[in-house]
Chain A
Amino acid sequence: GQSLEQPSEVTAVEGAIVQINCTYQTSGFYGLSWYQQHDGGAPTFLSYNGLDGLEETGRFSSFLSRSDSYGYLLLQELQMKDSASYFCAVKGAAGNKLTFGGGTRVLVKP
C-alpha cells in the first residue's frame, strides 16, 4: 500500500517562507506531485518531481529525495492568496493512481 505524512496545519505571515514536508511509503515510486486547493475549489497542480533535486516555479519550489522517501514544497514571499490546503501525492506501483496525503492547511496572516 501507500501512505503519505504531512503536517496538518501551518500558520505564517505575509512575506514569510513556509516549507511543507511530506514523507511517503510506497510499493514502487513514480514521482511526487503537489496540489493546491482553496476552500470550496478544485485541486490545482503545482509541481512534479520524478528525480531527486529541486524544481522551481516562481515563488514555489518542490524538492525530492528518493533515498529518504521525502519531499517538500517551499512557498516563498507568502501572499494572502496562498492561504489554502496543499496536498502531496505519489504515483506508486500502479503507476496511474495518485494517492494523496492528508493535506496541509496553510493560513497566511497579514
Chain B
Amino acid sequence: DAMVIQNPRYQVTQFGKPVTLSCSQTLNHNVMYWYQQKSSQAPKLLFHYYDKDFNNEADTPDNFQSRRPNTSFCFLDIRSPGLGDAAMYLCATSRDLQKNQPQHFGDGTRLSIL
C-alpha cells in the first residue's frame, strides 16, 4: 500500500507557467518535506512543515512555495518555472523531528519545462 503518494508522476509545463505538485500521506506523520533532485545528484531539501509550522531552507528560491492545508496533504507551487527547475521533486514524511526517525519518500514527480 502506497503511504506517500505523489501526483502526477510526470508533469510538463511551459517556461514561466505556474505549476503545482501534490503529495498526500496515509501515515499521519507530523512532518512533510519537499526535496528537489536533479539527475545523478543528491536530494536537496527545499522546505518542510512540522504540523502547520513552515520551515524554508535559506537557499530555496523565492519561486518555490508550499502549502499544507491539512495533515495529509502538502503542495509545492512553482510560480514561474525556469529551465533550471526541471528535476525530480520528492515528497517525504517523518513521524516527528526526532533524530532517529526515518523519512518515507514518495515516488516523486518528474517535472519537465518546455
Contacts and interface: CB of A to CB of B under 8 A. Distances in A.
| A, B from the same assembly | yes
Interface of A: 30-31, 33, 41-45, 48, 50, 87, 91, 95-103, 105
A97 B108 CA distance: 19
Contact of A41 (B41, B50, B99, B107): B107
Q: Identify which of A30, A42, A50, A102 gathers the most chain B CB atoms within 10 Å of its CB.
A: A42
A33 B43 contact: no
Contacts of B107: 41-42
B81 interface: no
Kindly state the interface size class of chain B when it binds its partner.
20 to 34
Contacts of A31: 99-100
Contact of B42 (A42, A45, A48, A103): A103
Nearest to B41: A102
Contacts of B42: 87, 100-103
Interface of B: 4, 31, 40-45, 48, 50, 55, 57, 90, 92, 97, 99-100, 102-108
B108 A42 contact: yes
Contacts of A42: 4, 90, 105-108
10 contacts: A42-B105, A43-B43, A43-B105, A45-B103, A48-B100, A96-B97, A98-B103, A100-B44, A102-B41, A103-B41
Contacts of A103: 40-42
Contacts of B48: 96-97
Contacts of A44: 105
Nearest to A29: B99
